[in-house]
A and B are shown apart, each in its own frame.
Chain A
Amino acid sequence: MNRLSALRRAARALFAAGLALAASPAFAQLTQRPFMVGGGEGGGGASGGITGWLIEMQSQLTRLIAADVHALHNGPAAIWGLIGFGFAYGVFHAAGPGHGKAVIASYMMASDRALKRGIVLAFLAAALQGAVAVALVGVAVLIFNATAPEMNAAANWLALASCSGVIAIGLWLTVTKGRALLVALRARFAHRAALAAAPVYADAPWRPAAGSGAAVTFRAGPPDGAGAAAIDDPAACGHLHAPDPAALEAGFSWRGAAATVLAAGSRPCSGAILVLVFALAQGLFAAGIAAVAAMSFGVALTTGALASAAVFAKRLAMRMAAGDDSRIALAARGVEFLAALLVVAFGLALLLVAGRGA
């Protein structure tokens, strides 16, 4: 118990330190980049092969979008092209590192196996992201007649808030999933100890010393939920090869999901900001909003597919670890714990990129 609260304190301290670092003007100064567009997409990293193709598609689509905005001056038919290209742009764009889709996918892996919920989260996050871009540009340009550096600053504050939120969620998941992992480990050791103590295995060479070792030193607090309790009970060790749904779904909460949507979706994307400002400059804000809505829908599709892949990957991992209940639970908790660490890693990576805007 003490160890846990110490862990929680450490996580909180780390979060505060990260926030302080991100907010310090020195950090922003150090990482300023010429000709930046706010929203925290600094780019960098591997490209080529499939990724190179994605890049090429997006470049083409951006130009098609710009051409269609112009074409709107000649007739309203171009709106369909605008929506179509916007949608395609979203599909391709969401395969890049921004957009928090990695966050959503990892979150789904860490907390859930229900496909539908993952897809709903993906759509909500994408819709929020589009709405944030529209609100940001609408307010900045129409009300404040803001300049590019001012819009960059606003977009980057949102990006920083988003990244900090993602890191916070990741740390929270890491703590809760770490605790669940300890419980599962303890159950696993108890299970093996019980097997070893049983007469039929008494002389097996791998037999752990019953009642000694790790089983008693792991103090992870009360088992959380009915699933864990069932696993904890050596008497419940049947030869069920299907994981206990209650144990697998432990940890999903709509509150946590809402926080994830908010964190992942509150960062406006640079591409959407550019399209909106450009459309506004042409006196065609509504067309820009339509294009961004289509982009968000495309982003939602890709993110939803990735969230589904994450859920399937987790199921597959558990099937590969098939065995008795305690091993399946251990696999599930292990996957969730790794996914929780990934959320933290994504948050930190996004933070580094977001800090580079001017």
Chain B
Amino acid sequence: MNFAAPARRLVLALLFAATLAFVPAAAAAHPHVWVTVRSKVGFSPDGKVASVTHDWVFDEMYSSFATQGLAKPGELVTRDVFAPLARQNAGGLAEIGYFTTLKIGGKAAEFGPVKDGDYWMEERPDHLVAFHVDLHLKTPTAPSQYFSLLVADPEYFIDFEYDDNDPIALVSAPSGCSASIAKPKPLEGQDKTKLTESFFSGLAVGTNFGFKMASRVIVACP
């Protein structure tokens, strides 16, 4: 009687069982919060990229969640009343990378910490919650021929989508600069294989799925 082969089979069987048990863990979160984005890229007087200003409008479910208990029925939640929640949200932005990737000349720009007065949160008359924040670059940077701006939650708990009508504006930009929106590419074959493999192996391919699903602003300056 040969013991080697059955022993190998036993190990295989254990691995198989462990793999099956891991499959559920591979699935990821899905968006619970939807945000419509309008952004402004601000330039300094000497033509450098200096700031990114976001106006985010939340979906009605998150909006009713955020406004719950803050105003009397029939009244809107004002910026003052929202201040503590706004501060909490603004304070957490740095750690998640401000949900903002600004790449100039292939390098990601660094933003300074968000200060009081740079942000507010309010309930609009249509009862949707709006969040406004000014992000200042640590060092204003001269735009290269092209630079890109991406707003996304790397963990894809929040789904950021650019507004259809008024997605992006350039403020005090050097003449000739223009902005356009690039929709997300469909996942490429290789990505799909990798992602499907990761589903079955239970190993994460990375936590940047939100980036793949995001629209990208491309700014071209002459």
Give residues in A with beta carbon < 8 Å to B.
32-37, 41-52, 54-55, 58-59, 62, 66, 93, 95-98, 101-102, 105-106, 109, 141, 144-151, 192, 206, 270-271, 273-275, 277-278, 280-282, 306, 309-310, 313-314, 316-318, 320-321, 323, 327, 330-331, 334-335, 338-339, 342, 346, 349, 358
Cα A150 to Cα B199 with chains together (Å): 35
Contact: A49 with B196, CB < 8 Å? yes
- What residues of B have a CB within 8 angstroms of the CB of A320 in the complex? 9-10, 12-13, 16
- What residues of B have a CB within 8 angstroms of the CB of A277 in the complex? 61, 64-65, 68
- What residues of B have a CB within 8 angstroms of the CB of A34 in the complex? 88-93, 96, 99
Top 8 nearest A-B pairs by Cβ distance? A43-B29, A48-B195, A49-B196, A281-B64, A47-B209, A317-B13, A55-B30, A320-B13
B20 part of interface (Cβ distance < 8 Å):
yes
Contact: B18 with A146, CB < 8 Å? no
Give residues in B with beta carbon < 8 Å to A.
3, 6, 9-10, 12-14, 16-18, 20-22, 24-35, 58-62, 64-70, 84-85, 88-93, 95-96, 99, 131, 153-159, 187, 191-192, 194-196, 198-199, 203-207, 209, 212
- What residues of A have a CB within 8 angstroms of the CB of B92 in the complex? 32-34, 358
Contact: A48 with B196, CB < 8 Å? yes
Nearest CB of A to B75, in Å: 13
Contact: A59 with B65, CB < 8 Å? no
Cα A338 to Cα B159 with chains together (Å): 36
Nearest CB of A to B98, in Å: 9
Contact: B29 with A342, CB < 8 Å? no
Contact: B3 with A95, CB < 8 Å? no
Contact: A109 with B21, CB < 8 Å? yes
Q: Given A48-B192, A313-B16, A316-B13, is A273 in contact with B29 using a C-beta cutoff of 8 Å?
A: no
Contact: A45 with B29, CB < 8 Å? yes
Cα A315 to Cα B207 with chains together (Å): 34
Contact: B191 with A48, CB < 8 Å? yes
Nearest CB of A to B55, in Å: 14
Q: Among the listed B28, B62, B66, B91, which residue makes an inter-chain contact with A46, where contact means beta carbons less than 8 Å apart?
A: B28
- What residues of B have a CB within 8 angstroms of the CB of A98 in the complex? 29
Nearest CB of B to A60, in Å: 10
Cα A321 to Cα B99 with chains together (Å): 50
Contact: B21 with A66, CB < 8 Å? no
Q: Among the listed B10, B99, B199, B205, which residue makes an inter-chain contact with A331, where contact means beta carbons less than 8 Å apart?
A: B10
Q: Given A34-B93, A47-B156, A314-B17, is A147 in contact with B209 using a C-beta cutoff of 8 Å?
A: no
Contact: B33 with A37, CB < 8 Å? yes
Q: Among the listed B17, B192, B203, which residue makes an inter-chain contact with A109, where contact means beta carbons less than 8 Å apart?
A: B17
Q: Given A34-B90, A44-B207, A317-B14, is A49 in contact with B30 using a C-beta cutoff of 8 Å?
A: no
Chain B residue nearest to A312 in the complex (CB) = B20
Contact: A331 with B13, CB < 8 Å? yes
Contact: B21 with A339, CB < 8 Å? yes
Contact: B14 with A335, CB < 8 Å? yes
Chain A residue nearest to B18 in the complex (CB) = A338
Sample (27) of A-B pairs whose CB atoms are under 8 Å apart? A33-B157, A43-B156, A44-B28, A46-B203, A47-B195, A47-B209, A48-B187, A48-B191, A48-B209, A49-B198, A54-B27, A55-B156, A59-B34, A96-B29, A102-B24, A102-B25, A147-B69, A148-B66, A151-B68, A278-B60, A280-B64, A310-B21, A317-B16, A327-B6, A327-B10, A335-B14, A339-B17
Chain A residue nearest to B159 in the complex (CB) = A59
Contact: A317 with B17, CB < 8 Å? yes
Nearest CB of B to A213, in Å: 15
- What residues of B have a CB within 8 angstroms of the CB of A206 in the complex? 3
Contact: A321 with B88, CB < 8 Å? no
Chain A residue nearest to B94 in the complex (CB) = A34
Nearest CB of B to A191, in Å: 11
Cα A55 to Cα B187 with chains together (Å): 14
Q: Given A34-B92, A145-B69, is A46 in contact with B199 using a C-beta cutoff of 8 Å?
A: yes
Contact: A96 with B68, CB < 8 Å? no
Chain A residue nearest to B205 in the complex (CB) = A46
Q: Among the listed A96, A149, A151, A321, which residue makes an inter-chain contact with B9, where contact means beta carbons less than 8 Å apart?
A: A321
Contact: B14 with A338, CB < 8 Å? yes
Contact: B70 with A147, CB < 8 Å? yes
- What residues of B have a CB within 8 angstroms of the CB of A278 in the complex? 60-61, 64-65
Contact: A42 with B64, CB < 8 Å? no
Cα A35 to Cα B159 with chains together (Å): 11
Contact: B21 with A148, CB < 8 Å? no
Contact: A141 with B69, CB < 8 Å? yes
Nearest CB of A to B156, in Å: 6
Nearest CB of A to B14, in Å: 5
